[in-house]
Amino acid sequence: MRARLVAGNWKMHGSRAANASLLDALLAGLGQTGAPRADNAERAECAVCVPFPYLEQVADRLAGSAVTWGAQNVSEHSAGAFTGEVSGAMLAEFGCRYAIVGHSERRQLFGETDTQVAAKFGAAQVSGLIPILCVGETLEGREAGRTEAVVAGQLDAVIAQVGAAAFGRAVVAYEPVWAIGTGKTATADQAQAVHAFLRGRLAAQDASVARGLRILYGGSVKATNAASTFAMPDVDGGLVGGAALVAEEFLAIVAAAGAKKHERLS
């Protein structure tokens, strides 16, 4: 059984005071030990991916708890004259477990290419971090029937650079660009179809790794749609944006992941 994961992406939000309140509320809601869960349900892992300046604050507050943390980006370079960049080794010093790579905002707003995202994926792993690789299509891509072609290209670029086996220590997040921050959400069946495609694509290279790969859904996840989406056999949790900034909402999403009792490794 794949361990479920709900990761909150704070994006460019936060302040020391707001962070402290949010983290305190999360830890209180989780009982300091893990996610609220239904009887006989597996506990979902809970993580927060925060802006670089707040990593020390988050690491200090979450140390010893069941909540893990990570960064929203990582440089493809290990060191050198790259002003403004942050290396994987630096993130590891703050106890980061995860680093998001290839988020649609990085691809669209900052011009990150599939090749650069693949390099960041590899750099994160070299530093001992678990990359959360984001893939997803725009509304134009979906309406043109190119969803599978787009996500396949994004996944294949990483496989070509680091190999399929590298996904044994990675997470993939399917985030349809048209459903990020828009209030629109892919239906549970739409999410399942893409997740199954991604798993099958990787299985063609390494079936064992594909069976164990956690694939998260990341398009306007809310408490109201989490349960139905997480019930799908190839959906292993969520990458949560705006709802991750509201403790009650985020806790409800984590609880929905914990309530998913049955899962097929397909």
Q: Which pair of structure tokens corresponds to residue 126?
A: 């070299």
Q: For 248, phi and psi rounded to 5 degrees?
A: -60, -40
Question: Residue 84: beta bridge partners?
Answer: none
Cα(99)–Cα(92) distance, integer angstroms: 10
pLDDT at 246: 97
Burial of 229 (0-12, 13-18, 19+ CB in 10 A): buried
Which domains are delineated in the chain? 136-212+227-241 (3.20.20.70)
- 172-205 pLDDT, tens digit per residue, is 999 999 888 777 778 999 999 999 999 999 999 9
pLDDT at 155: 98
Q: Give the residue numbers annotated as catalytic, written as ranges.
A: 103, 175
Is 122 within 8 Å of 74 (Cβ atoms)? no
Within 10 angstroms of residue 174's Cβ, the number of other Cβ atoms is: 28
Q: Which of 183, 261, 173 is nearest to 221 (CA)?
A: 183
- 73-91 pLDDT, tens digit per residue, is 999 999 999 999 999 999 9
CA 146 to chain centroid, in Å, comes to 23
Cα(117)–Cα(254) distance, integer angstroms: 28
- 153-170 pLDDT, tens digit per residue, is 999 999 999 999 999 999
Q: Which of 62, 95, 91 is nearest to 78 (CA)?
A: 91
Q: Which pair of structure tokens corresponds to residue 148?
A: 């599978």
pTM: 0.94
Range scoring the smallest mean pLDDT among 58-67, 197-206, 252-261: 252-261
Above 60 in pLDDT, residue 41?
A: no
Q: What single-letter amino acid sits at 27? A: L
pLDDT at 186: 86
- 96-134 pLDDT, tens digit per residue, is 999 999 999 999 999 999 999 999 999 999 999 999 999
